[in-house]
Chain A
Amino acid sequence: MSLTNQQIDVLMQMIVLTKHEEFSCDDCLKRMAEFAEISLQGKPIPDALKEIDDHLKICGECREEFEALKVAISWSAGE
Protein backbone atom coordinates (compact mmCIF):
# COMPACT_ATOMS: atom_id res chain seq x y z
CA MET A 1 0.00 0.00 0.00
CA SER A 2 1.33 3.41 -0.90
CA LEU A 3 -0.08 6.85 -0.21
CA THR A 4 -2.77 8.36 -2.44
CA ASN A 5 -2.02 11.55 -4.36
CA GLN A 6 -4.25 13.43 -1.94
CA GLN A 7 -2.35 12.06 1.07
CA ILE A 8 0.95 12.97 -0.56
CA ASP A 9 -0.24 16.54 -1.09
CA VAL A 10 -1.42 16.75 2.51
CA LEU A 11 1.97 15.51 3.68
CA MET A 12 3.80 18.00 1.44
CA GLN A 13 1.67 20.80 2.86
CA MET A 14 2.45 19.59 6.39
CA ILE A 15 6.17 19.64 5.60
CA VAL A 16 5.88 23.22 4.34
CA LEU A 17 4.18 24.24 7.58
CA THR A 18 6.59 22.37 9.85
CA LYS A 19 8.61 24.57 12.18
CA HIS A 20 11.42 23.62 14.49
CA GLU A 21 9.37 24.58 17.55
CA GLU A 22 5.60 24.21 17.53
CA PHE A 23 2.82 24.56 20.05
CA SER A 24 1.41 21.20 21.14
CA CYS A 25 -2.34 20.55 21.38
CA ASP A 26 -2.21 21.25 25.14
CA ASP A 27 -0.40 24.57 24.53
CA CYS A 28 -3.04 25.43 21.97
CA LEU A 29 -5.91 24.56 24.30
CA LYS A 30 -4.52 26.84 27.01
CA ARG A 31 -4.72 29.92 24.77
CA MET A 32 -7.56 28.93 22.43
CA ALA A 33 -10.25 30.90 24.30
CA GLU A 34 -8.27 34.13 24.04
CA PHE A 35 -7.42 33.43 20.40
CA ALA A 36 -11.08 32.77 19.53
CA GLU A 37 -12.25 36.04 21.11
CA ILE A 38 -9.62 38.07 19.25
CA SER A 39 -10.39 36.24 16.04
CA LEU A 40 -14.14 36.91 16.33
CA GLN A 41 -13.50 40.58 17.07
CA GLY A 42 -11.55 40.77 13.82
CA LYS A 43 -8.49 42.16 15.61
CA PRO A 44 -4.93 41.44 14.42
CA ILE A 45 -3.40 38.36 16.02
CA PRO A 46 -0.73 39.43 18.55
CA ASP A 47 2.72 37.90 18.17
CA ALA A 48 2.26 35.91 21.37
CA LEU A 49 -0.62 34.03 19.72
CA LYS A 50 0.92 33.49 16.28
CA GLU A 51 1.94 29.98 17.29
CA ILE A 52 -1.71 29.12 17.92
CA ASP A 53 -2.46 30.20 14.37
CA ASP A 54 0.40 28.00 13.10
CA HIS A 55 -0.79 25.04 15.17
CA LEU A 56 -4.37 25.36 13.87
CA LYS A 57 -3.11 25.23 10.28
CA ILE A 58 -1.52 21.85 10.88
CA CYS A 59 -3.69 20.19 13.55
CA GLY A 60 -7.07 19.15 12.21
CA GLU A 61 -8.44 18.26 15.61
CA CYS A 62 -7.65 21.58 17.24
CA ARG A 63 -8.95 23.37 14.14
CA GLU A 64 -12.23 21.45 14.37
CA GLU A 65 -12.55 22.40 18.05
CA PHE A 66 -11.65 26.02 17.36
CA GLU A 67 -14.35 26.33 14.68
CA ALA A 68 -16.96 24.80 17.02
CA LEU A 69 -15.84 27.14 19.80
CA LYS A 70 -16.35 30.18 17.58
CA VAL A 71 -19.87 29.01 16.71
CA ALA A 72 -20.63 28.39 20.38
CA ILE A 73 -19.46 31.76 21.68
CA SER A 74 -20.85 33.80 18.80
CA TRP A 75 -24.29 32.41 19.55
CA SER A 76 -24.22 33.78 23.08
CA ALA A 77 -23.00 37.14 21.84
CA GLY A 78 -26.21 37.41 19.83
CA GLU A 79 -28.48 36.76 22.79
Chain B
Amino acid sequence: MKMKTPTNLWVQRLTGSEEDRSCALTELRGLLVARVTHAFHHNTIVDSSFVEDVVQDTLLKIMNSIGQFEGRSLFETWATTIAIRFAYTELRKRRWKDLSLDKLVELNDEFVPEPEQSNDPNQQERQGFIKAMYEVIHEKLSQKQRTALLAELAEIPMEEIGRRLGSNRNAIYKLTHDARKKLRQGLEQAGFTEADFVNLQERN
Protein backbone atom coordinates (compact mmCIF):
# COMPACT_ATOMS: atom_id res chain seq x y z
CA MET B 1 0.00 0.00 0.00
CA LYS B 2 1.27 3.43 -0.97
CA MET B 3 2.00 5.71 2.02
CA LYS B 4 0.56 9.21 2.05
CA THR B 5 2.96 12.10 2.49
CA PRO B 6 2.60 13.73 5.94
CA THR B 7 1.86 17.44 5.75
CA ASN B 8 5.20 18.48 7.24
CA LEU B 9 7.07 16.54 4.56
CA TRP B 10 5.41 18.08 1.50
CA VAL B 11 7.31 21.34 1.72
CA GLN B 12 10.53 19.49 2.44
CA ARG B 13 10.08 17.22 -0.58
CA LEU B 14 8.92 19.99 -2.93
CA THR B 15 11.92 22.13 -2.06
CA GLY B 16 14.40 19.27 -1.78
CA SER B 17 16.53 17.39 -4.29
CA GLU B 18 15.43 17.12 -7.89
CA GLU B 19 14.41 13.51 -7.35
CA ASP B 20 12.36 14.31 -4.24
CA ARG B 21 10.72 17.24 -5.98
CA SER B 22 9.86 15.23 -9.04
CA CYS B 23 8.29 12.41 -6.99
CA ALA B 24 6.35 14.86 -4.82
CA LEU B 25 5.04 16.75 -7.86
CA THR B 26 3.88 13.51 -9.47
CA GLU B 27 2.08 12.51 -6.28
CA LEU B 28 0.52 15.93 -5.80
CA ARG B 29 -0.51 16.13 -9.44
CA GLY B 30 -2.36 12.80 -9.16
CA LEU B 31 -4.15 13.89 -6.00
CA LEU B 32 -5.21 17.24 -7.47
CA VAL B 33 -6.43 15.69 -10.72
CA ALA B 34 -8.61 13.28 -8.73
CA ARG B 35 -9.96 15.98 -6.44
CA VAL B 36 -10.70 18.56 -9.13
CA THR B 37 -12.34 15.90 -11.31
CA HIS B 38 -14.51 14.87 -8.38
CA ALA B 39 -15.43 18.41 -7.36
CA PHE B 40 -16.59 19.27 -10.89
CA HIS B 41 -18.00 15.92 -11.99
CA HIS B 42 -21.44 17.49 -12.62
CA ASN B 43 -20.00 20.22 -14.84
CA THR B 44 -20.14 19.25 -18.51
CA ILE B 45 -17.48 21.81 -19.48
CA VAL B 46 -14.91 20.21 -17.21
CA ASP B 47 -13.15 17.41 -19.08
CA SER B 48 -9.76 15.78 -18.54
CA SER B 49 -7.97 18.40 -20.61
CA PHE B 50 -9.52 21.21 -18.55
CA VAL B 51 -8.48 19.46 -15.33
CA GLU B 52 -4.93 18.88 -16.59
CA ASP B 53 -4.54 22.58 -17.42
CA VAL B 54 -5.91 23.65 -14.03
CA VAL B 55 -3.61 21.28 -12.17
CA GLN B 56 -0.61 22.39 -14.20
CA ASP B 57 -1.31 26.05 -13.33
CA THR B 58 -1.84 25.04 -9.70
CA LEU B 59 1.49 23.22 -9.45
CA LEU B 60 3.32 26.22 -10.91
CA LYS B 61 1.59 28.53 -8.46
CA ILE B 62 2.41 26.23 -5.54
CA MET B 63 6.08 26.04 -6.48
CA ASN B 64 6.21 29.84 -6.73
CA SER B 65 4.39 30.50 -3.47
CA ILE B 66 5.25 27.54 -1.28
CA GLY B 67 6.58 29.93 1.37
CA GLN B 68 3.03 31.18 1.86
CA PHE B 69 1.89 27.80 3.23
CA GLU B 70 1.59 28.45 6.96
CA GLY B 71 0.75 24.92 8.08
CA ARG B 72 -2.68 25.91 9.42
CA SER B 73 -4.29 23.11 7.37
CA LEU B 74 -3.17 19.94 5.64
CA PHE B 75 -0.87 20.79 2.75
CA GLU B 76 -3.18 18.87 0.40
CA THR B 77 -6.16 21.00 1.43
CA TRP B 78 -4.19 24.21 0.86
CA ALA B 79 -3.12 22.97 -2.59
CA THR B 80 -6.69 21.98 -3.45
CA THR B 81 -7.92 25.47 -2.51
CA ILE B 82 -5.60 26.92 -5.13
CA ALA B 83 -6.73 24.40 -7.75
CA ILE B 84 -10.40 25.13 -7.11
CA ARG B 85 -9.73 28.87 -7.47
CA PHE B 86 -7.98 28.29 -10.81
CA ALA B 87 -10.82 26.07 -12.04
CA TYR B 88 -13.53 28.59 -11.18
CA THR B 89 -11.52 31.49 -12.59
CA GLU B 90 -11.33 29.68 -15.93
CA LEU B 91 -14.98 28.61 -15.88
CA ARG B 92 -16.12 32.17 -15.15
CA LYS B 93 -13.87 33.56 -17.85
CA ARG B 94 -15.46 31.19 -20.39
CA ARG B 95 -19.01 31.78 -19.16
CA TRP B 96 -18.66 35.57 -19.44
CA LYS B 97 -16.33 35.78 -22.44
CA ASP B 98 -18.84 37.83 -24.45
CA LEU B 99 -19.41 40.40 -21.72
CA SER B 100 -18.10 43.78 -22.83
CA LEU B 101 -17.12 46.84 -20.84
CA ASP B 102 -19.94 48.67 -22.67
CA LYS B 103 -22.47 46.24 -21.25
CA LEU B 104 -21.23 46.97 -17.74
CA VAL B 105 -21.36 50.71 -18.35
CA GLU B 106 -24.91 50.33 -19.70
CA LEU B 107 -26.00 48.82 -16.39
CA ASN B 108 -25.07 52.11 -14.79
CA ASP B 109 -26.24 54.42 -17.59
CA GLU B 110 -29.62 52.73 -17.85
CA PHE B 111 -30.23 52.64 -14.13
CA VAL B 112 -33.38 54.64 -13.37
CA PRO B 113 -33.32 55.95 -9.81
CA GLU B 114 -37.09 55.67 -9.48
CA PRO B 115 -38.73 52.48 -8.21
CA GLU B 116 -41.77 51.02 -9.92
CA GLN B 117 -44.98 52.21 -8.30
CA SER B 118 -47.27 49.82 -6.50
CA ASN B 119 -50.87 50.49 -5.47
CA ASP B 120 -50.76 47.81 -2.82
CA PRO B 121 -50.98 49.61 0.58
CA ASN B 122 -49.00 46.77 2.16
CA GLN B 123 -46.16 47.63 -0.13
CA GLN B 124 -46.03 51.34 0.64
CA GLU B 125 -43.47 51.10 3.41
CA ARG B 126 -41.28 48.91 1.25
CA GLN B 127 -41.70 51.33 -1.63
CA GLY B 128 -40.51 54.17 0.57
CA PHE B 129 -37.48 52.16 1.55
CA ILE B 130 -36.66 51.26 -2.05
CA LYS B 131 -37.00 54.92 -3.07
CA ALA B 132 -34.54 55.94 -0.36
CA MET B 133 -32.18 53.14 -1.40
CA TYR B 134 -32.30 54.25 -5.05
CA GLU B 135 -31.53 57.82 -4.03
CA VAL B 136 -28.46 56.74 -2.09
CA ILE B 137 -27.29 54.56 -5.00
CA HIS B 138 -27.76 57.47 -7.40
CA GLU B 139 -26.43 60.31 -5.28
CA LYS B 140 -23.87 58.89 -2.86
CA LEU B 141 -22.09 56.18 -4.81
CA SER B 142 -19.31 56.94 -7.27
CA GLN B 143 -19.88 55.88 -10.86
CA LYS B 144 -17.42 53.02 -10.43
CA GLN B 145 -19.05 51.85 -7.20
CA ARG B 146 -22.49 51.98 -8.82
CA THR B 147 -21.33 50.07 -11.90
CA ALA B 148 -19.67 47.37 -9.80
CA LEU B 149 -22.64 47.03 -7.44
CA LEU B 150 -25.20 46.84 -10.26
CA ALA B 151 -23.03 44.30 -12.07
CA GLU B 152 -22.79 42.20 -8.92
CA LEU B 153 -26.58 42.30 -8.57
CA ALA B 154 -26.77 41.12 -12.19
CA GLU B 155 -24.78 38.09 -10.93
CA ILE B 156 -21.67 38.94 -12.92
CA PRO B 157 -18.65 37.53 -11.06
CA MET B 158 -16.39 40.11 -9.44
CA GLU B 159 -13.32 38.83 -11.22
CA GLU B 160 -15.05 39.37 -14.56
CA ILE B 161 -16.17 42.86 -13.51
CA GLY B 162 -12.56 43.52 -12.48
CA ARG B 163 -11.21 42.24 -15.79
CA ARG B 164 -13.41 44.74 -17.70
CA LEU B 165 -12.65 47.65 -15.38
CA GLY B 166 -8.89 47.12 -15.39
CA SER B 167 -8.97 45.90 -11.80
CA ASN B 168 -9.15 42.57 -9.97
CA ARG B 169 -11.55 40.59 -7.82
CA ASN B 170 -10.10 41.71 -4.52
CA ALA B 171 -10.28 45.38 -5.45
CA ILE B 172 -13.84 44.99 -6.76
CA TYR B 173 -14.85 43.35 -3.48
CA LYS B 174 -13.42 46.35 -1.60
CA LEU B 175 -15.18 48.73 -3.99
CA THR B 176 -18.57 47.10 -3.46
CA HIS B 177 -17.93 46.81 0.27
CA ASP B 178 -17.44 50.58 0.40
CA ALA B 179 -20.60 50.97 -1.69
CA ARG B 180 -22.58 48.80 0.75
CA LYS B 181 -21.27 50.79 3.70
CA LYS B 182 -22.31 54.06 2.06
CA LEU B 183 -25.69 52.57 1.26
CA ARG B 184 -26.22 51.41 4.82
CA GLN B 185 -25.08 54.74 6.21
CA GLY B 186 -27.32 56.66 3.80
CA LEU B 187 -30.36 54.58 4.69
CA GLU B 188 -29.69 54.98 8.41
CA GLN B 189 -29.44 58.73 7.91
CA ALA B 190 -32.80 58.56 6.13
CA GLY B 191 -34.26 57.05 9.31
CA PHE B 192 -34.25 53.34 8.47
CA THR B 193 -33.00 50.77 10.98
CA GLU B 194 -31.53 47.31 10.69
CA ALA B 195 -34.96 45.91 11.62
CA ASP B 196 -36.39 47.70 8.57
CA PHE B 197 -33.74 46.11 6.33
CA VAL B 198 -34.92 42.69 7.51
CA ASN B 199 -38.67 43.25 7.87
CA LEU B 200 -39.19 45.03 4.57
CA GLN B 201 -37.34 42.25 2.84
CA GLU B 202 -39.51 39.54 4.31
CA ARG B 203 -42.71 41.38 3.49
CA ASN B 204 -42.11 41.06 -0.26
Contacts and interface: CB of A to CB of B under 8 A. Distances in A.
A65 B112 CA distance: 34
Contact of B180 (A18, A33, A60, A73): A18
Interface in A18-59: 18, 20, 22, 24-26, 29-34, 36-37, 59
Contact of A76 (B35, B115, B116, B174): B35
Contacts of B187: 15
Nearest to A1: B110
A11 B177 CA distance: 12
A24 B158 CA distance: 12
Interface in A50-79: 59-61, 64-65, 68-69, 71-73, 75-76
A31 B81 CA distance: 10
B157 A34 contact: no
Interface of A: 1-3, 5, 7-16, 18, 20, 22, 24-26, 29-34, 36-37, 59-61, 64-65, 68-69, 71-73, 75-76
Given A12-B201, A15-B187, A16-B197, A68 B39 contact: yes
Contact of A8 (B111, B114, B130, B159): B130
Given A2-B111, A72-B84, A33 B74 contact: yes
A68 B180 contact: no
Given A8-B130, A15-B187, 13 more contacts: A12-B200, A13-B201, A18-B177, A29-B81, A33-B80, A61-B158, A64-B88, A65-B88, A69-B81, A69-B84, A71-B39, A75-B38, A76-B76
Nearest to B109: A1
B105 to A, nearest CB: 13
B194 A71 contact: no
Give 4 closest A-B pairs by Cβ, nearest first. A33-B73, A72-B39, A72-B35, A33-B77
Contacts of B40: 68
A71 B38 contact: yes
Contact of A11 (B74, B133, B159): B133
B111 A76 contact: no
Interface in B85-144: 85, 87-88, 92, 107, 110-112, 114-116, 130, 133-134
A60 B38 CA distance: 21
23 contacts: A1-B107, A1-B112, A2-B111, A9-B204, A11-B149, A12-B197, A15-B184, A18-B183, A20-B181, A25-B158, A25-B170, A33-B74, A34-B72, A60-B157, A61-B92, A68-B39, A68-B87, A69-B80, A69-B84, A71-B39, A72-B36, A73-B35, A75-B35
